[in-house]
């Protein structure tokens, strides 16, 4: 593992990189809020001081092409495809990195600009492996689209003759540096967005290359598999390690019983693979498409999201009881969520001393895998070795998670293959299925039942809200709707990097039957304040972890939700490209809207979950059977974790 201290420092924001020279007679304070007159292609407007030319043009409906620029990332000004003419400047200027500090006239498509952009494209293509027809990003490659726009019909400056080897050592991410244009989006994502630093630009000038630490294979690096670099790469230099062929092979085998579980986030994004607006839900149309493709059963991952809430919530109650009532000083608090495999791997790499704080509850994906090859196999009289369990996830890290050596509690690999949203979209196209036009069909039993709590797992804060909905009702005996309007726990929602919330427990009710074997009463929680927090993106996770290390506010929390990806699962590394704050917000809106449409919105009320405890996990939540199948016992960095 690379030493954290060797990671590059975070870049300064644009406001620090560019400090415009104001007239001496104008105090800086007076310039705050000032607007500047701008003329772009003959059209006039006013923009706030410091607005970039790219931003100003966008506000006027003028499109300037970009490659290194991304709305989630800091300015780089590397690729120069966005050059424009600025009156009074001797050379063309990069629109993404030019702050407007005085009235200015700009041309965005003059002859000089068009020639320069064409030259830039020709130079990029001279070092780019141009096997577009066989490329995984064919049709959705930003470089390919610009080449078509600017009439590139050959390799004017030569072409790569000796491609370098592709790195497919990671279960999650493939690196093909033959297609890298050195825009450094992946580098800025790794350093600025996630603060992992697994990628960096090495050397200078025309010898620059994007590399891992000591040029190690990605599978041997500190990569957390989140795939955020994939979502921002403009070409196919990075892509999720595909499982399409293996899944098709299983579907074509008459001796295999193939089932699939579908996570909530892909349903709010799959429509984008068919040209629909972000946030257009196609949940039930997707079920029909999957059955037509040949899957024997289609299940809802929300079912095991509900199961996760019961197991993880019970675990939290037990930790609090041991600490507050029995006085055990060794109890690891705050308890951390463990359903994001990218976050778990981040914790293992950078904060191994806090591994005991991770909930032992498996992720919903892995809980489902264990049940499929035990409970489900017994119920249908199937031999588990003939069951192929597939998981549709918004996440490239799920590919790594299902291949972790400890994920075999069913006696077999619990989940055989992880498919990203993008991969399943491609499979639908290969099968000639137009998902948005499919008739609707429901999920299959015995795992058809799910709740709104399971559904909102897909958004940052969703796990915490789901847990609170259940914990509040089980402890207080009151409906959560009597405390939060419509049961929506708004304080834990939103896209702020870190949220901290306190929930008062003024009174308590009787212990429900499902938990009576664990705690005698709730008197010890009467009048208590439950302190929780939510963080999404590992850069924000780092802020919380450093605060905890130094005894800050978050060290006094009882429960903290961490998600590796910005926005949570709906912004996962396997979701459709492109991604932005607006797109992630649209997907979140779809998830919360569907939550309101469901009759049951609390995990503990899910009748299918209740049935599993009655028929299979008969010793209840956190009992022997559930610990055997639904909780993790693994070796991480030389320590055995119970």
Q: Which residues are catalytic?
A: 312, 315, 339, 359, 398, 401, 406, 569
> What's the rounded Cα separation, in Å, for the pair 162 and 182?
18
For residue 137, the tally of other CB atoms under 10 A from its CB is 20
Residue 227 CB contacts under 8 Å (≥ 6 apart), including other chains:
172, 173, 240, 395, 396, 397, 420, 565, 572, 573, 574
Side-chain half-sphere of 266: how many Cα atoms within 13 Å? 27
In terms of DSSP bridges, do strands 93-94 and 83-86 run parallel, antiparallel, or are they unpaired?
A: antiparallel
Give the end-to-end CA distance of the chain in Å, rounded to a whole number.
24
What are the residues whose beta carbons fall under 8 Å from the beta carbon of 603, sequence distance 6 or more?
A: 305, 306, 307, 309, 310, 451, 453, 454, 466, 469, 470, 609
Q: Residue 499 pairs with which residues in a beta bridge?
A: 534
Looking from the CA of 399 toward its CB, the CA atoms found within 13 Å total: 28
b/e sequence 86-116, b meaning 16+ C-beta within 10 Å: beeeeebbbbbbbbbbeebebbbeeeebeeb
How many other C-beta atoms can be found within 10 angstroms of the C-beta atom of residue 12?
A: 10
Write out the two tokens for 84: 């424009």
Do 279 and 404 touch, CB atoms closer than 8 A?
no
CA–CA dist 404, 344 (Å, integer) = 12
Return the number of other C-beta atoms located less than 10 Å from residue 35's C-beta: 12
Beta strands in 49-127 (DSSP E): 83-86, 93-94, 104-107
Residue 538's Cα: distance from chain center in Å? 10
The size of the chain, in residues, is: 642
- Rounded distance, CA 93 to CA 80, Å? 8
Place of tokens 């709730």: 522
Q: Which residues contact 12 (CB under 8 A, 6 or more apart)?
A: none
Distance CA 221, CA 199 (A): 10
Distance of CA 471 to CAs 219, 286, 310, 536, Å?
39, 32, 9, 22
Q: For residue 446, is the peptide bond before it cis, meaning its omega torsion is within 30 degrees of 0?
A: yes
d(CA 235, CA 140): 8
Q: ∠ at Cα 181 (179, 187), nearest 5°?
A: 105
Burial of 177 (0-12, 13-18, 19+ CB in 10 A): middle
Q: How many helices (H) and strands (E) does the chain have?
A: 22, 19
Which has the closest alpha carbon to 231: 397, 13, 343, 366?
Answer: 397
Q: Is the Cβ–Cβ distance between 365 and 398 less than 8 Å?
A: yes
């Amino acid at each position: 593992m690379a030493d954290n201290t060797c990671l590059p420092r975070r870049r300064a924001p644009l406001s620090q990189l560019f400090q415009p020279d104001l007239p001496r007679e104008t105090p800086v304070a007076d310039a705050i809020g000032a607007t500047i007159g701008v003329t772009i292609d003959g059209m006039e407007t006013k923009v706030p001081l410091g607005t970039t030319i790219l931003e100003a043009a966008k506000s006027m409906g003028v499109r300037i092409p970009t490659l290194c620029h991304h709305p989630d990332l800091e300015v780089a000004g590397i690729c120069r495809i966005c050059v424009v003419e600025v009156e009074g400047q001797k050379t063309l200027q990069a629109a993404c990195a030019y702050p407007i500090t005085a009235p200015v006239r700009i041309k965005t498509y003059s002859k000089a600009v068009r020639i320069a952009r064409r030259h830039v494209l020709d130079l990029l293509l001279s070092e780019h492996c141009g096997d577009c027809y066989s490329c995984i990003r064919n049709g959705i490659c930003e470089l390919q689209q610009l080449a078509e726009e600017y009439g590139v019909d050959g390799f004017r400056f030569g072409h790569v003759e000796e491609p370098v080897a592709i790195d497919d050592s990671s279960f999650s991410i493939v690196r093909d540096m033959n297609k890298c244009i050195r825009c450094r989006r992946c580098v800025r994502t790794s350093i600025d967005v996630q603060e992992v630093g697994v990628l960096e630009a090495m050397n200078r000038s025309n010898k620059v290359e994007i590399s891992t630490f000591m040029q190690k294979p990605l599978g041997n690096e500190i990569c957390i598999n989140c795939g955020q670099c994939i979502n921002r790469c403009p070409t196919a230099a990075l892509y999720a390690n595909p499982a399409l062929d293996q899944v098709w092979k299983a579907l074509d085998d008459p001796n295999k019983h193939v089932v699939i579980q579908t996570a909530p986030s892909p349903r709010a994004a799959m429509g984008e693979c068919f040209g629909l607006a972000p946030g257009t839900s196609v949940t039930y149309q997707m079920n029909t498409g999957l059955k037509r493709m040949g899957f024997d059963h289609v299940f809802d991952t929300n079912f095991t999201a509900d199961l996760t809430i019961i197991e993880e919530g019970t675990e939290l109650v037990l930790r609090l009881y041991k600490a507050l009532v029995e006085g055990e000083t060794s109890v690891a608090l705050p308890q951390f969520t463990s359903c994001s495999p990218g976050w778990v791997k981040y914790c293992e790499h950078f904060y191994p001393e806090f591994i005991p704080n991770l909930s032992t509850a498996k992720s919903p994906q892995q809980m489902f895998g264990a049940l499929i090859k035990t409970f489900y196999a017994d119920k249908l009289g199937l031999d588990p070795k003939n069951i192929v369990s597939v998981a549709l996830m918004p996440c490239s890290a799920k590919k790594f998670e299902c291949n972790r050596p400890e994920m075999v509690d069913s006696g077999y690999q619990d989940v055989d293959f992880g498919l990203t949203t993008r991969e399943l979209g491609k499979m639908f196209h290969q099968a000639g299925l137009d998902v948005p036009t499919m008739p609707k069909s429901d999920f299959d039993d015995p795992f058809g039942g799910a709740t709104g709590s399971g559904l909102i797992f897909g958004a940052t804060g969703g796990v915490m809200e789901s847990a609170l909905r259940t914990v509040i009702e089980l402890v207080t005996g009151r409906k959560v709707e009597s405390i939060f309007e419509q049961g929506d726990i708004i304080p834990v929602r939103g896209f702020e990097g870190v949220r901290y919330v306190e929930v008062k427990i003024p009174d308590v009710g009787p212990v429900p039957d499902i938990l009576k074997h664990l705690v005698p009463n709730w008197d010890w929680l009467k009048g208590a304040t439950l302190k929780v927090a939510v963080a999404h993106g590992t850069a924000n996770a780092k802020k919380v972890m450093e605060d905890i290390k130094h005894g800050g506010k978050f060290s006094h929390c009882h429960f903290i939700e961490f998600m590796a990806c910005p926005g949570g699962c709906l912004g996962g590394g396997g979701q459709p490209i492109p991604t932005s704050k607006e797109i992630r917000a649209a997907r979140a809106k779809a998830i919360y809207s569907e939550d309101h449409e469901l009759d049951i919105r609390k995990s503990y009320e899910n009748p299918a979950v209740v049935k599993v405890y009655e028929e299979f996990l008969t010793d209840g939540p956190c009992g022997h059977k559930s610990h055997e199948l639904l909780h993790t016992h693994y070796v991480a960095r030389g320590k055995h974790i119970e």
